[in-house]
Structure 1
Amino acid sequence: MLPVDNLFAQVGTTLGWLPHPVAGLLLIALAIGIALGLHWIAVRVVRRTMKRSQEYWRNILLRTRGPSRLAFLIIFIGAAVSAAPFRVSTKLVFTHILLVAFIGLLGWIAMRTLQIAADVYLRRFRLDVEDNLLARKHVTQIRILLRASTVLLFILTAAAILMTFQSVRQYGVSLLAAGGAAGIVVGLAAQPVLSNLLAGIQIAITQPIRLEDAVVVEGEWGWVEEITMTYVVVRLWDWRRLVLPIRYFIEKPFQNWTRQTGAIIGTVLLQLDYTAPVAAIREKAEEFAAASPLWDKQVINVQVSDAHSETIEVRILASASTSPRTWDLRCEIREKLIAWLQAEHPACLPRRRMEFSGQSGGDAESLPTVRVASAGQMAAE
């Protein structure tokens, strides 16, 4: 017999002069008080024992307060019920309650163990650095698998608890054996949940998206902020949140700008006159890119990408390490080139030309003829 059992047996003997139900309830109340008191003392000892430098591990250990408190209660209440002068039927009820609590405790411990193991594993990865591709890969994978494992453990724990009730167990066995229409209805009802669960597991394994990936979905550009088992939250560039079902990223196409690396090439388009000095623009674009801290020194290119009836299209390509930096670099190069063209080559900005022919006179036939032509037409003539 354990010391706890001896303690409550002696207390039960002392309370023998009371009616049996009252004495039993007093023993249970005493067990709850002792369990909560000892647990509080144990938590205080853990807090004072660990050093301040081990704050992370203190937080990890203190997250087990819930399961440890329940374990204390199960142990002391079980000892009290064994020593209490209850009837056999009453003891069976308390024993069944303790069994349900014990099964729940095992499931709770398993879930909390997985969470702590995931936290310890992810501690080596940081998302607040510029080159966080590997960290985003592992964080996304672990978080999705952790959610799937938690759901699975919850289902198994709930099933184990329900199987302790004879009526529910018989109903479950007959349902599994018979199947039929009820099984079809349950299967159809659970299909969206199961499909989302499978989609989440598939995303965790194949990883078409990861946390903080820059994506373009539904014509909107943003970053993947949260991935759950049923939906994905995309933080848009203007701080709006786009919520999409997780199956969207399995069934529909989308753009992922950081699938392999965060670097991306940005495009600047300028509509200019045919007289624009392309060689000088190329030199200035290279100069502005080299002077910018946003440029990653990988790509800078200037080309005439198209020619319209009135203007030519000059395309500047420049690369940066991340999509936000690329956007800022595009804006910077565009602004500086426009300011330089206005100051040094204002004539090469887009314009329309007018050609006057004929001589002025008094009658209508001698009025000058005005012809509007584009720069390309005039250059050809």
Structure 2
Amino acid sequence: MKIATILGTRPEIIKFSPLIPLLDQEFTQVLIHTGQHYSYSMDKIFFEDLNLRSCDYTLNVGSGSHAQQTGEMMIKLEEVLLREKPDLVLVQGDTNSTLAGALTASKLQIKVAHVEAGCRSFDKNMPEEVNRVVVDHLSDFLFAPDENAYENLINEGIPKEKIYLVGNTSVDACLRAKELFNKEKLKDFSLIKESYAVLTIHRQENTSSEKLKEIISSINTISNTVNVLFPVHLRTKAVIESNKINLTENVILTDPMGYKDFMGLLSNSKFVLTDSGGIQEEAVVLNVPCLILRDTTEWMHYVDMGKNLLLGTEQSGIVDSVTELLSDEEKISAMKRVKVNLNEGAPLKIVNTLKKVA
């Protein structure tokens, strides 16, 4: 069987990383990179970090509006899929690359498999929510990471026989990267284990100039109590520079990092402030308290369990919540004591399922 695996962003590269070698062993795999993330720091460094082979096709789509980006991806993907004639297209998550891959394959009557199916924030103002819902309803094989995602799919009328509860590939990727981390990296930033917070901001809704100013103002206040390590996404950096947004000296700015370095620094932190869905998962795997800079999340069950904390994006809410957390170490300890059943082995389950049913 020939499988075309489509990816285009950092989260997809990471979450596919333990799966790609297994697919190469068991099938003929065509690896296609759309170019949605197209800089070395956001892309190639992750292939090197994770010891992944080169892609068979790189489409170099780059940036643009959602419609422009998705449309250009579909045009280029159609050419590749017509040439390669795969039996199955494999996509992951909720990006424009995911949507373009699933739509193009479906229109060519190629079967679609979706890794991380069924995740929902129930907020259709988020482009990612629209992407993940559409892709799930186009897919022939839906690999759900947990029971909540499975139930979401059932509730939307997707037949049970299409859904496979396999677990989360990010568990395998995250634990592997943690083992590769060189702890000397802490010294590069003059950091001590669990004495600093990590910050990431990249989502479209958080990087408008006014919203980013509000979030950064919150972080500046928080940094008076705890140092904050901030690997700056390229989109976020451009907004900070163009709007002359100031950060205090207690906020340590860095370029985007490779996966193993970021996982190592995350695993040694006191907590993480993020708007990333992937980092919410990774924080749970590493047992690092995760404070979410969003009003909704597709990983709400971790919030409901008390494992992660949803802060919203208003300055007062962010500052008040973090101040309360920092003033009572027991609150952080309580978050770390919440047990989550996270099992390794999702990539192998996906491959074995495809061997049986695809």
Normalising by structure 1, report the TM-score: 0.20
Using CA pairs under 8 Å that are at least 6 residues apart, name the structure with larger relative contact order, 1 or 2.
2
Normalising by structure 2, report the TM-score: 0.21
Q: Which structure features the higher share of helix residues?
A: 1
